[in-house]
Amino acid sequence: MEARVNETPGTHGTQGTQGNRTWDAVRRAPTGRASVWKFNWLANHKIIRALEKARVHAHGALLDVGCGSQPFAPLFDGFVTRYYGTDLSSSRYLGGARLDAFARAEALPIRSASVDTVLGLSMLTYLPEPLGMLKEANRVLRPGGVLLLEFTQMAPLHDPPHDYFRFTRHGAAWLLGRAGFEPVEFIPVGGLAARVGLSVIAALNRVNRGPIRVITEIPVRMLYVILQLGFELLDRVFFDPREVLAHLVVAKKK
């Protein structure tokens, strides 16, 4: 599940004005619990809620693999002593963040047994060989270290052609075992209603582009609020743990 989607740039009348720059800064700020007017709030706030459950397992030095702009780093304040981030230099989700290293998840420039927690969000589906990332995470973790990793089960196609896999809970457990991890907790992230909602919101986002955006911006934002709150309610009422957007898995190095 893509929890770090940047909103699509568009035309807001005259380009380069202070008002437009201010609006762009607000629009691109990290999505929080209350920013229901923003694109993909439906996914982001569910990830935040899952991380708040999982972060109690995080400790020591944390390495965020595929970190993007590190939007969730503040959630770990008080739980970890250091927060490091790596990603591809070509990633469009960096947002000006200053990373500690540019690297592929399957080949981290990190010493073996040097970190205590590894975090991976919205990135495993982009790897043609996901087991390689898991083995690399195991290598850099100290004995007893913790892996917090999102396994997407159902989500819209994203960034084709580099979107390769979806994972059931059982497939996640099998991969973790092969890489030398013992699953501790599977935290469900969203359900079927949220999945439908993501596709509806994505369709609206495609409409809200180009020269007509000066007209569509406010109506689309209003629809974001109505639809995302509606699908959030449906997701809570009809939630089925077998049909989830993803699992945030807590696992320990064996």
Domain locations in the chain?
31-191+240-253, 194-234
For the segment 95-143, what is each residue's pLDDT rounded down to a tens digit?
888 899 999 999 999 999 999 999 999 999 999 999 999 999 999 999 9
Rounded Cα distance, 188 and 193, in Å: 14
From start to end of the chain, where are the E strands?
A: 61-65, 82-87, 101-102, 115-120, 141-152, 181-189, 246-253
Burial zone of 221 (CB within 10 Å; 0-12 exposed, 13-18 middle, 19+ buried): middle
Is residue 62 helix, strand or coil?
Answer: strand
What pLDDT, on the 0 to 100 scale, is given for residue 29? 61
pLDDT grade, residue 12 (50/70/90)? very low
* Phi and psi angles of residue 197, each rounded to the nearest 5 degrees, phi first: -60, -40
What pLDDT, on the 0 to 100 scale, is given for residue 66? 96
For the segment 42-87, what is each residue's pLDDT rounded down to a tens digit?
999 999 999 999 999 999 999 999 999 999 999 999 999 999 999 9
CATH superfamily of 31-191+240-253: Vaccinia Virus protein VP39 (3.40.50.150)
What pLDDT, on the 0 to 100 scale, is given for residue 68? 94
> The tokens of 223 are what?
């629809």
What pLDDT, on the 0 to 100 scale, is given for residue 23? 46
Nearest to 254 by CA among 169, 184, 207: 184
> The tokens of 51 are what?
């991380």
